[in-house]
Structure 1
């Protein structure tokens, strides 16, 4: 019921592109082998940065120059992939974040209200799967103390693109085990008086749910995201099923990642970014070559659909 993944260790080196622009390249260590996240000209980049560190302008996704590229704004699924009238060929600089909310528009921040301090504090991550529905991990507080923030790049800074909701109700999986973290999944219903909650925009989009039983090839590269001071994105690869056995985990401490838990693991499938996992726990937190454990969403499609059908948005 889990995916085991190698948690990436990020190393940043100032390099120069062929055009002599000094930019930041990102590398990941996977099984003692370095691999670039962004290769060459950055043609697989899907963010919104508009200039390089030296000030050179980046092409936009709807530029005629990229019309024949794999990623462009004319694709039928462009909105789902985060492609629009923003920048195309660009890698962010060392002073800037490695990720913008438009790179992970399904990422949610779940905050909890603390009466003694009279303010909200970050509790965990979540992932938007429909206008009024968010998936997260099972370690949640009382529903009336929760708020869900969408469309915000900086966790503590208001944004014109943000959408904030109270939580009407949530469901933790009935078989969740708070010792083993089996069935570590929760479904939140956002509160609304108008029959609709989140409105699609470049900063706010639901992730696609997988078909039940979908299995991706071993070592498929996927994306994870989480909040620190601002949203961050990382790249991981799926471990083969034969390595996801009890012997691999025996004797290892279970470390719940409260700030990161509930966040999305999305993988490209049929040209769509598909939600394959929800961040659960890890052996330590973010240690190099240590597997992170994610709740396998394909095992819970019937559970999710059942809750949504039984609790319609009015």
Structure 2
């Protein structure tokens, strides 16, 4: 269902900028975890090449993909892209599918906190949610696998965590699922993340807070029976995030992969 950005104020939209005509094309979702940092999926940046920060832009506070609201939205240049050094798409499953994006405005500022723009909490490292736990996903992705266009408006849906045992069973994804991933879906197979939602948040309530438990990563089509959405398990990357954000404070490289 359509969702005001105030209900998902950490949602980021990642755009790729065409070198030919300087047009911006919607690429992926993301989540604001720090005023200067967005976390997204590694596969949002084409593999086999070092993504150039100047080829991307990030907008926060967006409700409609094709409309700009100068009063609510905040636009940013990308200063740095840190894709996980062990990201891999070799098995048809995306492993270590996480990237950090450092943002700054034209005037060198990070995000300002408003009703439409807020950071999301990261989960505690030992958080392991049980199968059946209800969480929320959001993004501008396609409404069905066969849709031609992305959703014009921000949408959010409720999905349920699926136990690792079930997701690793043969009728689901078998050996494609490893400890860096988990599955979440709809028991009726009507709701799922889809193309264009990649990089966006899976948010769960824990101790009275909304925490970023997963990053929308991959799946077999969308809302297909026994093929739920697969998410990057955020608890496995808290140290990696902390280390790279700290290093970046002192290093000025355009691209780090280490």
Q: 2:74 aligns with which of 163, 182, 196?
A: 163
Q: Is residue 2:173 matched to residue 1:249? A: yes
Contact 1:131 1:196 in 2 (8 A): no
Contact 1:132 1:191 in 2 (8 A): yes
1:288 Cα deviation after fit:
5.3
1:118 Cα deviation after fit:
2.6
TM-score by length of 2: 0.77
Superposed structure 1 runs of 4+ greater than 4 Å apart: 192-196
Q: Is residue 2:28 matched to residue 1:124? A: yes
Change in 2 beyond 3 A, CA 1:193/1:113: closer
Q: Is residue 2:219 matched to residue 1:308? A: no
Aligned to 1:262: 199
Aligned to 2:157: 234
Cα distance in 1 for partners of 2:98, 2:246 equals: 18
Task: Give runs of aligned pairs for residues 72-87 of structure 1, distance below 5 A.
Answer: none
1:153 Cα deviation after fit:
0.4
TM-score by length of 1: 0.64
Between 133-142 and 282-291, report the one with greater CA deviation. Answer: 282-291
Q: Which runs of 5+ in 2 are unaligned?
A: 46-50, 141-150, 177-192, 253-258
Q: 2:125 aligns with which of 212, 218, 223?
A: 212
Match of 2:162, SS state, is coil
Q: Is residue 2:147 matched to residue 1:223? A: no
Flag the structure with larger Rg: 1
Cα distance in 2 for partners of 1:108, 1:288 equals: 29
Cα distance in 1 for partners of 2:77, 2:107 equals: 14
Change in 2 beyond 3 A, CA 1:207/1:117: same
Contact 2:173 2:227 in 1 (8 A): no
Cα distance in 2 for partners of 1:216, 1:243 equals: 14
Q: What is the alpha-carbon root mean square deviation over aligned residues?
A: 2.2
Change in 2 beyond 3 A, CA 1:193/1:120: closer
Contact 1:123 1:258 in 2 (8 A): no
Cα distance in 2 for partners of 1:309, 1:246 equals: 39
Cα distance in 2 for partners of 1:242, 1:178 equals: 22
* Count of residues paired in the alignment: 215
Once the two structures are superposed, what CA deviation does each residue of 1:83-136 show, in whole Å capped at 9, x if it has no partner? Answer: xxxxxxxxxxxxxx6311111111110000012233000011111101000000
